[in-house]
Structure 1
């Protein structure tokens, strides 16, 4: 199959052009952060209503993409901003603080861009970078359910009409809103299975995106099913995946730092909501003998404790970004392992603080905060749902094994 891919050209491979306007161009890291803050301010007011009514965020995603933020990791030599990993994480956290679902939806878009940067051929990179700069969004079809093992059963095969994909995926965050669905598929080569990331047009014949996600959190991420029924794909859309983990690369750390950023954003959102509610609505406990809940000494102490934990998580995330940037610049066994561990440390703390902030919001705000119309429970529900992406207990194991036994963590997309 490799010969067919490498000998291919990029004729006849572009889906029908959209009439949408070309997105704004983000100039640099500072511009990206400014644009994220402006969007977050626009997204936050309706976040509770979107969650309550499960109102899919089509207009918000159009505005998100139009801002240029979905192209910020496209390298400068290809016309993008080429922002740092820290900026990518901060942009993600800023949006997630306003709306956890909107913060998560682009995660796999940026993951696919990193797979493309690491393993794609120059002509593939140019093609897909151009599509992103033009406003195309990537979803994902990576995970599969129904089996206790992690073996992928979606197949990439060659038939009389060319290459095709057959299979079913779940947890396909963003696929519902995407122009392309990067899909993990397995091809048999020389008696063994080899995994590729296949960029499949959302509107290709045989693609069915099913809106069947009914998790109690991250409700509007579109994380449902995708069915591929003999979907014909061009060889130009097939990017090596498995081989990118047979050498030290930053695909895993980049994927994970975004997950840490989503959790951090959820924590920030819950913390700010708790501050506002206690200041404006909560009553002090009778034994505090104060007029306002914000004067309750135990409430003040609890907020202080939570603020310290949040600041620590933010610091670890920024530190992790520096390690990821260093590994991207000079990928090697040690630099990639150090990046993975730094991100694992950040994920351990962002997981904890996002859950704690979502829960302590109610402890500090009081019974009135549980009224259904307020939608304040979304912070904990979103955090609990997203932090289940991969178990935090394995982060602690990876960190401990690295420092105690000098064991490098495994290279895969889940760390």
Structure 2
């Protein structure tokens, strides 16, 4: 697959939270139609992504001062949730794009902000080249960004590069000579950059989250921002990255719940129920009721997390950022549990026929199991408890 060097058309500019949510609902209805086919055939969603970014939804967090809508993070989470309920691969792909926009806002020069926010409003998509499969852990980087006069030279190999294959610009994280994390904005077809479509996970199959290899890639120094500043000081960048992950999982849970209700109505009644239809089974009714409140409870805490981020952005401080991290962690834990539960209950309540390959309903569980592995929930429990019991603020990084 080859992505054009620039958008095929200028994107629409969304002006309000309400317009963003309405656009997401319209898109989701169209994306849902062939979501199962895309998953089954691993058909990469190039056309769908062009449509997605052309609506202006990829630019909704651009601040009003730079021509964007500057929507709330309650709305951002709602948009990602709506899209993910239809197709969570499409919901996941903008995650790093949106995270980078916040890092730009926090750390870039005024000239860089004007330049890149303008690009995004036109419909340019950022991919990502952040994580590395061979480094010690998720927060360490072997990739290097070396400054050479007015240029920066990038060398390294990345993995889990969701969105890079479909991007117009690929932001890459590397360490400079002082060991500080920098982000270089590399044109998708820059000499020395190779994107490898080798993602073969059993879930989130169409995110193309494969490798990105940088070999002596050169960019002007003006295309590099000091990413470390987003975490050296209290900013909401970590919670922003995490709430989008939670929104994807909440969307998976919603999609699985709707499939459960549809297929459970078609299930046969159990022999001992003395009912004529599966939808009369009292135990199925109770299970559906239980699942419904859990999913909607997850939506409620996701909204609460969005409000906490909005407060941290309005009044950044050690305390407001820590509170945002903790509430987002709660949303992350609950959304992970609920998506896995809903995807599993789907088969229990729909019956044996629901496992037939023609339905491809296992994609919901595969997507939930794959996406919820982005960071371990066990550490979220620890983060929440340590803050509530001991007042220990979460470490500031992209996973908190």
Q: TM-score, normalised by structure 1?
A: 0.94
Partners of 1:85 and 1:161 in 2: how far apart? 36
Of 68, 93, 113 in structure 1, the residue corresponding to residue 81 of structure 2 is: 93
Of 294, 305, 324 in structure 1, the residue corresponding to residue 290 of structure 2 is: 305
Find the residue that maps to 1:157 and give its secondary structure: strand
Contact 2:5 2:189 in 1 (8 A): no
Unaligned runs of 5+ in 1: 1-15
Unaligned runs of 5+ in 2: none
Tell me which residue corresponds to 1:216.
202
Tell me which residue corresponds to 1:110.
98
Of 217, 223, 226 in structure 2, the residue corresponding to residue 237 of structure 1 is: 223
Q: Please give the per-residue CA displacement for 1:192-234, whole angstroms capped at 9, x wherever unaligned.
A: x111111111111111000000000000001000000100011
Tell me which residue corresponds to 2:157.
168
Of 239-248 and 209-218, the range deviating more from structure 2: 239-248
Change in CA separation of 1:276 and 1:236 when aligned onto 2, cut-off 3 Å: same
Tell me which residue corresponds to 1:364.
349
Tell me which residue corresponds to 1:129.
117
Change in CA separation of 1:121 and 1:160 when aligned onto 2, cut-off 3 Å: closer
Partners of 1:18 and 1:199 in 2: how far apart? 14
> How far 1:364 moved relative to its partner?
0.5
Structure 1 residue 273 corresponds to structure 2 residue 259: yes
Structure 1 residue 40 corresponds to structure 2 residue 28: yes
How many residues were matched structurally?
A: 397
Change in CA separation of 1:171 and 1:17 when aligned onto 2, cut-off 3 Å: closer
Find the residue that maps to 2:358 and give its secondary structure: helix
Change in CA separation of 1:73 and 1:145 when aligned onto 2, cut-off 3 Å: same
Partners of 1:57 and 1:28 in 2: how far apart? 27
Tell me which residue corresponds to 1:227.
213
Q: Please give the per-residue CA displacement for 1:91-133, whole angstroms capped at 9, x wherever unaligned.
A: 0000000001000000011011011111111111100000001
Tell me which residue corresponds to 2:248.
262
What is the aligned-residue RMSD (CA, Å)?
Answer: 1.4
Tell me which residue corresponds to 1:413.
398
Of 207-216 and 193-202, the range deviating more from structure 2: 193-202
Find the residue that maps to 1:287 and give its secondary structure: coil
> How far 1:294 moved relative to its partner?
1.0
Tell me which residue corresponds to 1:391.
376
Structure 1 residue 323 corresponds to structure 2 residue 308: yes
Q: Please give the per-residue CA displacement for 1:377-398, whole angstroms capped at 9, x wherever unaligned.
A: 0000001000000000111111
> How far 1:236 moved relative to its partner?
1.2
Contact 2:150 2:220 in 1 (8 A): no
Find the residue that maps to 1:55 and give its secondary structure: coil
Of 162-171 and 143-152, the range deviating more from structure 2: 143-152
Q: TM-score, normalised by structure 2?
A: 0.97
Q: Please give the per-residue CA displacement for 1:123-148, whole angstroms capped at 9, x wherever unaligned.
A: 11100000001110001000001244
Tell me which residue corresponds to 2:13.
25
